[in-house]
Each structure stands twice: as C-alpha cells, then as structure tokens.
Amino acid sequence: MGIARTWPAIEDQDEIRECEALFFDSIERAERAIFIENQYLTATRLAERLARRMRENPKLEVVIISPRAPRSWLEGQTMRASLSRFMYPLRDLELRDRVALLYPQVRADGRASAIMVHSKTMIVDDVLLRVGSANLNNRSLGLDTECDLAFEAKTPDQRQAIVRLRDRMLGHFCGAEPEEVAASLFRTGSLIATARSLRRGGHSLEPIDFDGATHVSLSALAIVADPERPIVPPPVLQSLIGKRPRAQPVRRFAKVIGIGLAIVSLILAWRFTAVADRRHGGCVRPLAGLRIGWHRSNRKCGRNVWGRNRHGPPCHRDHRGSAG
C-alpha cells in the first residue's frame, strides 16, 4: 500500500506531485483494462499518455465513468469545456473503439435520471487499486492539496480481490451482481462491451456527449479556474497590493497565549476581587446560557474549516459544543 500526494509550491514549501506520477506510472503498466471513476477530466497530458500506451498495446481498453453534465454554469465553462480537449487524443480512429466515456443512468416510470459521480477511483488490470481525492484535472496535479491511497496486488488472492471489486463497482451502475459482470467479461472478453450491454432494473451506463471531438481552445476563465500550478501575480500587481505576508507562527502562538491569560485573569477577578461583590448589584449581568458553537473539519490533507458562534453565520455542519 502506498500514499500519493499533491501539494502546491507555496512560499518555502516545495511542490509535491506524487498523484501525477502515480497516474503516469499506472498507465504505463496497464496491459488489458483500465477502469476509472472520476468527476473532472481536463488534464490533457494524462490523456496523451493514455493514448500513447493504447497504441503501444492494442489489447488495452479504457472505461471512464463520469457525470453526464455540469452542475453549474461556472463548472460548464471551466471543467466541462475542457472535456473535448481531454478526449481529443483518444478519438483517433485507431483508439476510439477501445475507449468508452459513460455516465450512470436510472430509468423508472418512463423517466430517466443521470446519477452524479463524485468518486475518484482507478483500477488497472488486476494489479492496482487507487482511491482518493485527486481528479483527472490540472488542479489535482499541482494546485490543490490531494491524497490518494494505492494498493498493489502481490498474491493471487489479492489480484482476485481487486477484480471482484471492479466487477462489483461496474455492476453497481448496471444493476448487476459481480457474478454477472464476471460472466459477461468471460463471454465477451471486453470491459467496454460488458459496460454497455448490462442493464438490470432500469440501471445502465450511457455514452456521454462531450460536444464533439474537435480540439477547442480554452477560454480565459478555464485557464484561471484549472491551472497546473499556483498563479503568481505579475510584478505590476504585486507593486500595488504587495506580496503575501509570511506566516509568523511564534507571533500567532503568543497571541493565543495572551488571550488565554486575559480570560484567566477575568475569571480570577470575577471570583476574588471587588467585581464579585458587584454581581448582585445589577452593575454586571452574568451571561448565563451562552453557547459557543465550533467544529473543525479536515478537508484534503490539512485544510481546516472553522464554524462560528451560533448567533453568527451558520456553520456548514451543525456540530456545536458548549462552554462556560
């Protein structure tokens, strides 16, 4: 088992591009089938490497499961607009029949609904299983913080476990049991044929229309929203707003200690000085029942989101504690 990370180059921190390296290494090792679930597909360098590997190995098939359509206008103008560029190297006549870009669909009562795909999973043959936070977009390769886990099979039992998990995941979208998926793979010899043909209980995988296979140019919005590295302000802008101040952990720690000492001093004064005698005279009213809500949530290897006082803007989760 291994861990792959992405960490951008910020201040004195060197960049880490292990997620990108693992994508490239996984593609180079692929022999028969690559199964991918991913929300965003924009990193053309990965698509080009995948196309090269498929030319080197005519038996290699690729199934990519992704959302049918963007969820917002901004996503459509950025991530979705780059989908055609990602798929362009894979639409060559030599390759197009060995690549399937699909979305999950459920049909019931005469209506069809597309299922959202948010998972980030990659399975290469019966050798490698990868799951984590990294998308197949530029941001995940060098801008955002990401963390993926990778499992490499070393024994026949481990290889069989990876195959069964892939069959279970594919069957989940098709409404089929893993045994049905395995039987179809044995009968057709094709991961793509199995993904397209299995339909049970209204569940199926359908082709995604990505607005053709032309090599479209990127808009300025897409370039800014999906860069490979942090965007450095030009010198003229830095001269106006200044550079980002350096972090000062010692100073910050001193502030925290100072605030803590101030609180302790107020508590002692409240209890042991003349202030305590004035509590009952109406000059000082105790803040009975005050509740301060807070929580901490880890996001993508180290990002923290802090809640606020329950009387202020609501936290994105309703976790509250009490003090006092």
pLDDT at residue 286 tops 50: no
Query: What confidence tier does 242 reach under pLDDT thresholds 50, 70, 90?
Result: low
Residue 37, domain member (yes or no): yes
Query: Tokens in use for 218?
Result: 């990127």
pLDDT band, residue 250 (cuts 50/70/90): low
At 244, the pLDDT band (50, 70, 90 cuts) reads low
294 and 268 fall within a common domain: no
Report yes or no: 203 and 104 within 8 Å, Cβ to Cβ.
yes
Per-residue pLDDT, averaged over 201-209, amounts to: 93
| Dihedral angle over CA of 309, 314, 317, 318, nearest 10 | 60
Q: In this structure, is residue 242 part of a structural domain?
A: no
Q: Assess whether pLDDT exceeds 60 at residue 324.
A: no
Choice among 7-21, 27-41, 140-154, 300-314 with the minimum mean pLDDT: 300-314
pLDDT band at 144 (very low <50, low <70, confident <90, very high): confident
Give Cα separations from 80 to 50, 72, 85 (angstroms).
20, 10, 10
Residues in CB range of 104: below 8 A, 6 or more apart: 65, 114, 115, 117, 173, 203, 204, 205, 206
Do 204 and 117 share a structural domain? yes
- Average pLDDT over every residue of 276-300: 42
Tens of pLDDT, residues 4-17: 999 888 777 888 99
Is the pTM for the entire model greater than 0.75?
no
CB 276 within 8 A of CB 259: no
Query: Domain containing 258: what range?
Result: 248-278
**Residue at token pair 């043909």:** 197
Query: Does one domain contain both 187 and 69?
Result: yes
Q: Please report whether residue 235 resides in a domain.
A: no
Reduced to 3 states, what is the DSSP secondary structure of residue 155? coil
* Among 43-47, 128-132, 213-217, 226-230, the range of highest mean pLDDT: 128-132
Same structural domain for residues 216 and 302?
A: no
Query: Rounded to whole angstroms, what are the CA distances from 66 to 8, 29, 268?
Result: 26, 23, 60
| DSSP class of 81 | G
- Report the pLDDT value the prediction gives residue 22, as an integer from 0 to 100: 95
In a domain, 67, yes or no: yes
CA separation for the pair 21, 5 (Å, rounded): 10
Same domain, 309 and 199: no
Query: Is 233 contained in some domain?
Result: no
Residue 237 belongs to some domain of the structure: no
Question: Do residues 113 and 166 both lie within one domain?
Answer: yes
Residue pointed to by tokens 């042991």: 272
Query: Rounded to an integer, what distance in angstroms lies between the CA atom of residue 324 and that of residue 317?
Result: 22
Does residue 293 or residue 22 have the better pLDDT?
A: 22
Q: Are 258 and 316 in a shared domain? A: no
Distance CA 160, CA 38 (A): 23
Indicate if 206 and 266 belong to the same structural domain. no
